[in-house]
Amino acid sequence: MIFTKIIKSLLKVEKSDLGIFTSLIKIAFPLMLSSLLQTLYNITDAFFLGKLGKEELSAPTIAFNIIFFLVIFGMGMSMAGTTLIAQSKGKGDDRKVDFYLGQTAIILFSLSIVLSVIGILTTDFILHLLQTPPDVFEHTHNYMIIILAGLPFMFGFFVLQGSLQGIGNTVTPLWVQAITIVINVILDPLMIFGLLFFPPLGVVGAALATLIARSIASIIALYILFKGNKGIKLRFSDMIPRKESVLLFLRIGLPASIGQALSALGFTVLQGLVNYFGTAVIAAFGVGNRIISLYNQPAMGISRATTTMVGQSVGAKDIARARRVVRVSVLAILAFLIPATALTFFWGNYFVKFFVNDPETIWWGEILFKIVSPSVIFFGLFTVVNGAFQGAGDTKPIMFMSIARLWVIRVPLAFLLALMFNLGPLGIWIAMFVSNISVSLFGIAWFRRGRWVYAVDVDKI
């Protein structure tokens, strides 16, 4: 009954919201494609590595959550930049737009160096801590070292994507992403299998292909921003850190970063539990997460478009429009996720077979899709309201809900069901389902309280 009232309230869209929908799709569609292309980095690696065997396929699966734990801090600071740029744009202060671009760039560059060094120095310790199986340990270690060394290049693209998103330009980052994914797709088979003049490098080849593609993306991003013909310009004078702006970035970006980082740590602990059940389950978990993340990317695209439009509306002090943006976003995300999740629910085994032919892996992957797919619809709603919180600068709820999703619900429940109740991997899949639905309902309820729209006083920015 309560959930029905919440959904009816969120879906109360007026005829005048057609313009909002048009603007939302104009911003979100390139973001969706860009996010899909970003996911294709992992999909491409998984496809080709799966041809070598489940050991090679498992390496990026194990590495992903560890790397994500570090990368999320950069994403949080990038989204803080998006929020400040969007609200400055909504106020009509173009000089502040450029200033916050410069602050975003220097903060992300400095952070990338620190995180890269920390990650490289702790790789072996973390892999041992996670009980990484001996047959995949070396593959995972080599993959992680190369990807971690390239964090500055990854963060360089974050600067372009986050800043242009703030002013509503999501097409330019899409083109940059498209160029680099083509490079990655070309280099992957060449460097993995040793085609043409390349030696067969296996997992190392996959990591190097990704590193090269991301470095090219970073170079293109810096050229575009310094040239300044996209409505925003990067200047060295704006890259001098200012105490007030750094504190503002921390105020907005740090809570979300902490929440997401602790979530990533939770995923890493969960990966350790998955590792306990062997290589076939690891591979199934990896394929399942990749496919779910693939069709979850449009949800993230709409969420990020919501951040931009809510941020600009809050900056212009049009709170009513900010609320309407969220309602329209909910409709859009439901229209996509309901049919998308139906595909994996009914035909999940075919998705797993695309990557690997191992019968045990296919069986566990199919079970994962049957259990988890319906919960992704709820989690899509959660991403939309998170986008609204981010646009308004109210990131503390994001932190609390991200922590609760993994540490209060998913991780304890997974260990309880998998080990104490002897459900094995099935218990992990059930915990994923329960945590997605629980945190989504809480997020929607928090949104209805309405305090998020007053998180940042734009007149003091």
Among 396, 393, 382, which residue's Cα sits nearest to residue 329?
382
Residue-level pLDDT at 216: 94
Reply yes or no on whether the pLDDT at 117 is more than 90.
yes
Burial string for 421-432 (b: 16+ CB within 10 Å, else e) reads: eebebbbbbbbb
Among 409, 350, 341, which residue's Cα sits nearest to residue 370?
341
Among 262, 268, 284, which residue's Cα sits nearest to residue 414?
268
Reply yes or no on whether the pLDDT at 101 is more than 70.
yes
Give the CA radius of gyration of the chain: 21
Greater pLDDT, 392 or 125: 125
Residue-level pLDDT at 93: 84
Greater pLDDT, 92 or 425: 425
Mean pLDDT calculated for residue range 176-201: 90
Residue-level pLDDT at 273: 92
Task: Give the pLDDT band (50/70/90) at residue 415.
Answer: very high
DSSP state of 455: S
**Strands, E, within 267-357: which ranges?**
none
Among 185, 213, 196, which residue's Cα sits nearest to residue 46?
185
Query: What span, in angstroms and rounded, lies between the C-alpha atoms of 124 and 199?
Result: 26
Mean pLDDT calculated for residue range 95-118: 93
Among 389, 377, 369, which residue's Cα sits nearest to residue 333?
377
CA angle in degrees (0–180, nearest 5) for 19-75-329: 20
Query: What span, in angstroms and rounded, lies between the C-alpha atoms of 217 and 110?
Result: 18
- Cα 286–chain centre separation: 16
Mean pLDDT calculated for residue range 204-216: 93
Query: Could you tell me if 68 and 297 are in contact, meaning their C-beta atoms sit under 8 angstroms apart?
Result: no
Query: Could you tell me if 145 and 123 are in contact, meaning their C-beta atoms sit under 8 angstroms apart?
Result: yes
365 is written with which tokens? Answer: 């992957």
**Mean pLDDT rounded to a whole number for the chain:** 86
Reply yes or no on whether the pLDDT at 350 is more than 70.
yes
Query: What span, in angstroms and rounded, lies between the C-alpha atoms of 264 and 191?
Result: 29
Among 441, 367, 461, which residue's Cα sits nearest to residue 103?
461
Query: Could you tell me if 333 and 340 are in contact, meaning their C-beta atoms sit under 8 angstroms apart?
Result: no
Query: What span, in angstroms and rounded, lies between the C-alpha atoms of 173 and 421?
Result: 47
DSSP state of 456: S
| Tens digits of residue pLDDT in 41-58 | 667 777 888 888 878 888
| Domain total in the chain | 1
Reply yes or no on whether the pLDDT at 183 is more than 50.
yes
Q: Please report, rounded to a whole number, the percentage of residues in the chain having pLDDT higher than 90.
A: 33
Task: Give the pLDDT band (50/70/90) at residue 458.
Answer: very low
Mean pLDDT calculated for residue range 451-461: 56
Query: 244 is in which domain, residue-wise?
Result: 2-460
Query: Could you tell me if 237 and 98 are in contact, meaning their C-beta atoms sit under 8 angstroms apart?
Result: no
Residue-level pLDDT at 452: 66
DSSP 187-232: HHHHHHHT-TT----THHHHHHHHHHHHHHHHHHHHHHHHHT-SS-
Query: What span, in angstroms and rounded, lies between the C-alpha atoms of 314 and 425?
Result: 45
Mean pLDDT calculated for residue range 95-109: 92
42 is written with which tokens? Answer: 């992992």
